[in-house]
Structure 1
Amino acid sequence: MRLIFMGTPEFAVPALHALRDAGHDIIAVYTQPPRPAGRGKALRRSPVHEAAAALGIAVRTPEKVRRDPTEHAAFAALDADAAIVVAYGLILPVEMLEAPRLGCLNVHASLLPRWRGASPIQSAILAGDERSGVSIMQMDEGLDTGAVLAEAATDLAATETASTLHGRLSVLGAKLLVETLAHPLHARPQPAGGVTYAERLTRESGRIDWTRPATEIDRQIRGLTPWPGAFTTLKGEVLKIGSATPVDGAGGEPGELLDDGLTVRCGEGALRLTRLQRPGRAMMDADAFLRGQTVGRNERLGT
């Protein structure tokens, strides 16, 4: 097929390579423009931009596409069979959705209609879902409301993080996409029941409320790794929490350290913190953290 590929982050790169390896003609790649990054704030190209450039594919980086007739016409002039959209990050207007012969197909990181929206991977872990997956969807003007052509599921481990699930769904989605395009496309409408929405995450999403149960805070830590990251404070200093283990714990108030080994009382149960990061430092194991920090029983986190 003659395909347009639209994607931005690392999650989309395996799909781009899989389409190329399957023999499809990628006539153009759309990705978001280079953004300032790093301490020097130098402009950095997106992972998809880098991958497309390495493959010798023409790259387009429009800042906006919704209300730009010139961009709509250029997109239609590519005369594509379909556009493949994988975490592109911009909303497509109907003029672009309908331009390719088969429309626009989206690789979405959930089993629709569960977790429509911006953060499906993180939301599945935060909610304690036992499984997740990917859906290939025929895009329409709604928010992830289009008919589904194919889906593939995967079980979630008790220690699953957003990082591990991200990598697995990225590869799973690429494989499913190629398999879907190899056969006539038959879409089924999403069921009316079971719809949930994944909210856009911010840094504040990672702030730990120690009055919540330990199991919920554990999911918050795992679901927000690596971004935006779960965090708390200790002696006025922000601490990013990389991992923790739910344990039994009694006595004390939420946020209070129950021992000298970073066991924290929660609203229900307790968490033993196993990886932490101080500002300007690398993430480290709890033992290394304690060697450079005087922390003892009855001190409070999150105050």
Structure 2
Amino acid sequence: MRVIFMGTPDFSVPALRAIAARHELAAVYSQPPRAAGRGQRPRPSAVQAAAEELGIEVRTPLRLRDADEQAAFSALGADVAVVAAYGLILPQPVLEAPRLGCLNIHASLLPRWRGAAPIHRAVMAGDAETGVAIMQMEAGLDTGPVLAKARTAIGAEETTADLHDRLAAMGAGLIVDVLDRLPLPAVPQPDKGVTYAAKIDKAEARVDWTRPAAEVDRLIRGLSPFPGAWCEIGGERVKLLRSRMAAGQGRPGQVLDGFTVACGSGAVEVLEAQRSGKKPMAAGELLRGWGLPAQLD
């Protein structure tokens, strides 16, 4: 089929490559390059870089509300558009332009975790499983009917980064299967079980050791690697990137052993952390030559 692909971050790249291997890509849409690095030079998105490597035309409009942009999109004559973490709202003329409409690769088991941060929220909520859904897009926020789903368990020590990579690969496989079998029946989402995955606010990231250990552990894993849960140690902000539940009790914030810290109930062992201006390090390596105080804020 003739496909338009629309995506921006690393999550979208496996799907782009999988579709390019089996179908004709009319064009790739991605968000414009953003300033990055010390020199703040414009850097293309992960999708743009991959598409250019594959020799596919890339378009990076600031918005799709303009009539000229919508006409250019329609003129591509696509059978279907595939959207994966694109980051721009698709107006109705864009949704209706491809013969088979626009399909979205969404990293949750809809209707749970509609919205911007479904992987983070699933880990932070302690969900036992998550997955990928292929949805027929409509005007509402992730409200469209679902064509296919794939499920996966969330491991007890798994981070958002770990889950992100597995779901990206699952999404790539699932969208290729769906494209090969179109048209497919689309099942409306039930009203029951709807939750919203709000964008992560950096204000959520500070660890509160008075919370139960299970909540602290999920916060650390759910916000890893970005924006990274953090605490202050000796006046220095330290990111906590991997953790697991641990035995032990004490005052909230009390360091029990190594990098095991007491919480409001129970304790959490920090497995990986990152000091300011340093690279991420395993806890054992981090603590060599750097002792923790008896109490963390």
Q: TM-score scaled by structure 1?
A: 0.94
**1:208 match: secondary structure:** coil
Q: Where in structure 2 are the equivalents of 1:170-209 lying within 5 Å?
A: 170-183=168-181, 184-209=183-208
The match for 1:93 is: 91
Q: Where in structure 2 are the equivalents of 1:281-296 lying within 5 Å?
A: 281-296=278-293
The farther-off stretch of 267-276 and 224-233 is: 267-276
Pairing partner for 2:276 from 264, 279, 283 = 279
Pairing partner for 2:154 from 153, 156, 165 = 156
Q: Distance in 2 between matches of 1:41 and 1:81?
A: 38
The match for 1:122 is: 120
Q: Distance in 2 between matches of 1:292 and 1:201?
A: 34
Q: Distance in 2 between matches of 1:17 and 1:283?
A: 30
- Residues 141-181 of structure 1 deviation map (CA, whole Å, 9 limit, x = unaligned): 00000000111111111111111111111111111111111
Aligned residues: 296
Q: Distance in 2 between matches of 1:19 and 1:231?
A: 39
The answer as to whether partners of 1:205 and 1:228 remain within 8 angstroms in 2 is: no
Q: Distance in 1 between matches of 2:63 and 2:83?
A: 15
Shift of 1:129: 0.8
2:52 matched to 1:49?
no
Q: What 5-or-longer segments of structure 1 have no aligned partner?
A: none
The answer as to whether partners of 2:234 and 2:293 remain within 8 angstroms in 1 is: no
**1:172 match: secondary structure:** helix
The match for 1:64 is: 63
Shift of 1:83: 0.7
- Residues 233-254 of structure 1 deviation map (CA, whole Å, 9 limit, x = unaligned): 11211010122232222232x1
The match for 2:241 is: 242
The match for 1:144 is: 142
The answer as to whether partners of 1:126 and 1:216 remain within 8 angstroms in 2 is: yes
- Residues 175-234 of structure 1 deviation map (CA, whole Å, 9 limit, x = unaligned): 111111111321010011000000101322221111111111111111111111111111
Q: TM-score scaled by structure 2?
A: 0.96
**1:84 match: secondary structure:** strand
Shift of 1:263: 2.2
Q: Distance in 2 between matches of 1:153 and 1:274?
A: 27
The match for 1:36 is: 35
% same residue:
56
- Residues 75-116 of structure 1 deviation map (CA, whole Å, 9 limit, x = unaligned): 111111111100001111111111111111000001100000
The match for 1:19 is: 19
Q: Distance in 2 between matches of 1:103 and 1:29?
A: 16
- Residues 47-88 of structure 1 deviation map (CA, whole Å, 9 limit, x = unaligned): 1101110111110000112x3111111111111111110000
Output the amino acid matched with 1:45. P
Q: What 5-or-longer segments of structure 2 have no aligned partner?
A: none
The match for 2:3 is: 3
Shift of 1:43: 1.0
